[in-house]
Amino acid sequence: MGNDELLPFVQITTFQPDKVVDITAVSKNNLYTHLAQYLPLDNVFVAVKISGCFDKLKIRRPFVQQKPYPSVVKVFEQQVVDTVEDVSGTLIGFWTPEFFKELSVAGFHLHFIDTTRKLGGHVIDFMASKTELAFERKQAVEIVLPEDEEYLRKNLKMDDLNNVIKQVEN
């Protein structure tokens, strides 16, 4: 990405895997079990990368938003959901421990991009019979907040926010 490109929210990291392993029969539901074989992950952040051919993927993509910006619930309702089969590509994302759920989405938050770089999105569900799993434990987190007036003066109501996040991410 160029230095002048803007995103409302981003989670980034460097990635030097602690371990790379071949895994079979992995899905969103059992990814925790797979990863927990190699490291205790209940109390740490983990950066995850899964590459290979996916038997099934359910992904969603929001549309581009213009000012005045719609609420995240509106964006959520109008997004495109795709279910695709036998697609090669990479899942990347983070594992966030439950007790950090107010800082990020607890559990796995994964995004997909296919090998042609044409299809991608937020992963709702996935299944793969044979893939490569790479992961790196993350011991530190840095949060950078927006500096603009609009953000500084925004009245962020925690209860509303929690409801919205629950609705959108689960």
Among 8-16, 58-66, 121-129, 156-164, the segment contacting Zn ion (CB under 5 A) = 121-129
Residues in region 73-102 near Zn ion by CB under 5 A: none
Give me the least distance between CB of 89 and Zn ion, in Å please.
Answer: 15
Give me the least distance between CB of 169 and Zn ion, in Å please.
Answer: 8
- Residue of 59, 89, 91, 122 that binds Zn ion (CB under 5 A): 122
Q: Are 96 and 107 in contact (CB under 8 A)?
A: yes
> Which position has the token pair 């569900």?
125
Distance CA(90)–CA(148), nearest Å, equals 34
Which DSSP state fits 28? T
Among 4-12, 80-88, 114-122, 126-134, the segment contacting Zn ion (CB under 5 A) = 114-122
Q: Which residue has the closest beta carbon to Zn ion?
A: 122
User: What six digits make up the tokens of 79?
Assistant: 């997004």
By C-beta, is 39 or 97 nearer to Zn ion? 97
Give me the least distance between CB of 109 and Zn ion, in Å please.
Answer: 6
By C-beta, is 34 or 122 nearer to Zn ion? 122
**What's the CA dihedral at 41, 46, 52, 54 to 10 degrees?**
70
Phi/psi zone of residue 99: left (φ > 0), alpha (ψ -120 to 50 degrees), beta? alpha
**What's the CA dihedral at 163, 31, 9, 113 to 10 degrees?**
-130
By C-beta, is 18 or 63 nearer to Zn ion? 63
User: What six digits make up the tokens of 22?
Assistant: 């071949």
By C-beta, is 41 or 124 nearer to Zn ion? 124
- In the complex, the residues that contact Zn ion under the rule CB under 5 A are 122
